[in-house]
Amino acid sequence: MSDKKEIIINCGISHVSAGVFSQDGDNILLEQVGLETLRYDLSNEEQWLDCFSTGLENLCAKENIKGNARFIFPGSLLLSKTIRVPHVEEERQKKIVAFELMQKMPVPLTDLIWDYQVIDDDGVEQEILAFAVKPKVAEDFCEKVMEIGLNPVQITPAPVLDYNAMRASGIGQESGETLVVNIGAKSTNLLFLNPTGFLIRPISMGGNSLTQNISDNLGTQFEKAEEVKKNYFSGEVAFSADDPSVQTLEKCSKQFLARLTQEITRSVVTYKRLKKGKSPTKMYLAGRGALLNQLPEYLSQSQRLAVDYFDPLQALALSDKVSQEMRSLLPFMLSEPVGLASSIFAPPATDNSVLTKTINLLPASKLTNLNFRKKQPLILGAALLLSLTPLPSLLSAYFQSGDLNKSLEARESLNRDLASDLDGLEEKEEKLKFLQHFNTEVEKRNQKFEKLGKTCWNTQHLLNLLQESLNHEEVTDTWLDEFRITSSTEQGTRRAAANKKQTEQDKILILSGRYLVRPTVNVKTVSSESLADNLIQLNSAKQKALTNYLSTLSMIKEIRQKKFQTKEKGDLFNKYYVYFEFEIILEN
């Protein structure tokens, strides 16, 4: 058994898996594997990295995985372009590819991390598949995984790895055309295999499309719809036959299958045009989205092809450590990791098919860091030899240490004297702090008495002002029943909260009393209705006059509430008096 082990992390949109691969003779051995489902709003792309980091951290802790690792990126995080270039040597090929990509990429090539792979070669022209990623995306990703304890050595796109897995499994190498449909969470990858290479066509629909349709029809959140989808189509939860949700789920499933079939048909037509009439004769399904009920039968009928599930385990030997529970999931989650493992461990291709080179989108800074780590032992040895260079001077310094020790003793004695003086100063400082604290406390206590004295004078002044109001010509015939000063906190927290301008130090004056309304008509000669109208008009004028007068007093900040009663406490129409009550905020 080979000592070389490779950790391969498959960074899915809805899950993350980690596998430890090694070579056992001519076989690739899967020693260890783990899966962690990512739980977040799958429709929100910005949440993916943080949720992926948390899921990967939990997975690595559970499986005890750390060290160098290779990462498989989902196609939704990448830019991809397919171009055709002349068949030339590799050095010239890279320059030609770079020139062509500069014309076709939506952003400048210098602003991207990119790499490419030959996917078809007829001896005259080569078909090139290039992938690119924004440096910030790759850098942020690398920082996250390095915090977990993994050292990224490769970032490779997922769409190209199914081809390697098919070759390692011995599928698709015979003459004819083969189609692999890998259904992921966010997109579906179509892989057309032919004797000279392969062609990739992505479809921007996957398991999330079905989830969104279910969410819209059931009127529920995306996360809940995803849970219902998994429970129903996996058979984990039995739904009642008369459950209305079953009809909705089946309807959404049929709509998804119809749309997927249309997209596949459109891609097959395009492929036939490119390959001059050649079309696939066999179809394989891969990915966890391929578990959808009736998918093979539906595709077989619509595409008129033999449809089967692709089993990447044909290229693997499984360790006894892999649980039986995981073995049932492996065929639908290992196609990309097996493709990457086969390119690492498999011997160079001897047939005429495309080479199994894999793309690396790791940032240059991380590659430099990786090369540095490989050279660390040599650098440490050189550093050790370099550290011995000053040894003669160190020996010389050792003999001078006696004089230095004497000087140190003298300085320590001086320090002790200074420390003694410092203790005396600290004692004086403590006394000074006590006096400062004492003065502060005395001042605080005196402030209460000063404020109380000021309040007394203010109250007396306010009484004088109110006494003058009783003689004012517009508010005569007025007398007071209640004069009470309180604080805002005593009026209740609900009322204080309603007035944001009011603070706990506000003083509230409760002022109530009565005033007489003298009719200006002859009460003996006019009707009761005319008398009432006259009293109401005079009462309105007197209310306004009293309110305006109080508002002009210098000590009154705001009239917060006022109330007038012509009945109950007042009796306007019989005895011609009105009850009033004011709630007034006083100036501090």
Q: Based on the domain organization, do 141 and 5 belong to the same domain?
A: yes
455 part of a folded domain = no
**What is the rounded average pLDDT for all residues in the chain?**
82
Q: Based on the domain organization, do 165 and 177 belong to the same domain?
A: no
Q: Based on the domain organization, do 160 and 213 belong to the same domain?
A: no
Domain that holds residue 563: 470-586
Q: What is the predicted pLDDT for the residue at 368?
A: 60
Where is average pLDDT lowest: 89-98, 248-257, 262-271, 363-372?
A: 363-372
- In this structure, the number of other CB atoms found within 10 A of the CB of residue 279 comes to 16
Q: Is residue 163 classed exposed, middle or buried when 0-12, 13-18 and 19+ CB atoms within 10 A define those classes?
A: buried
DSSP-assigned letters across all residues of 465-493: HHHHHTT-TTS-SEEEEEEEEEEGGGG-H
Q: Based on the domain organization, do 151 and 177 belong to the same domain?
A: no
**Mean pLDDT within 15-43:** 86
349 part of a folded domain = yes
Q: Based on the domain organization, do 109 and 14 belong to the same domain?
A: yes
Beta-bridge partners for 5: 22
Domain with 349 in it: what CATH number? 3.30.420.380
Q: Based on the domain organization, do 215 and 286 belong to the same domain?
A: yes
Q: State which of 447, 479, 503 marks the end of a domain.
A: 447
Q: Based on the domain organization, do 231 and 183 belong to the same domain?
A: yes
Residue 524 per-residue DSSP state:
T
Domain count, the chain: 4
Q: Based on the domain organization, do 279 and 293 belong to the same domain?
A: yes
Q: Based on the domain organization, do 18 and 44 belong to the same domain?
A: yes
pLDDT surpasses 90 at 20: yes
543-571: per-residue pLDDT in tens?
A: 998 888 888 888 888 889 999 998 888 88
How far is it, in rounded angstroms, from Cα 492 to Cα 578?
27
Q: Based on the domain organization, do 283 and 266 belong to the same domain?
A: yes
Q: Degrees (nearest 5) of the Cα angle 160, 166, 168?
A: 110
Domain with 202 in it: what CATH number? 3.30.420.40
- Enumerate residues 6+ apart whose C-beta is below 8 A from 242: none
Q: Based on the domain organization, do 74 and 221 belong to the same domain?
A: no
pLDDT surpasses 70 at 297: yes
- Prediction pTM value: 0.61
Q: State which of 255, 282, 309 marks the end of a domain.
A: 309
396 part of a folded domain = no
Both tokens assigned to 194: 């032919």
42 part of a folded domain = yes
CB 559 within 8 A of CB 582: yes
494 part of a folded domain = yes
Q: What is the predicted pLDDT for the residue at 324?
A: 84
Q: Based on the domain organization, do 220 and 355 belong to the same domain?
A: no
Where is average pLDDT lowest: 92-106, 125-139, 396-410?
A: 396-410
**Mean pLDDT within 191-219:** 85
456 part of a folded domain = no
Q: Which has the higher per-residue pLDDT, 353 or 185? A: 185
Query: Which amino acid, residue 181?
Result: V
How far is it, in rounded angstroms, from Cα 505 to Cα 448?
13
530 part of a folded domain = yes
Q: State which of 257, 280, 309 marks the end of a domain.
A: 309
Per DSSP bridges, beta strands 316-318 and 27-37 are parallel
163 part of a folded domain = yes
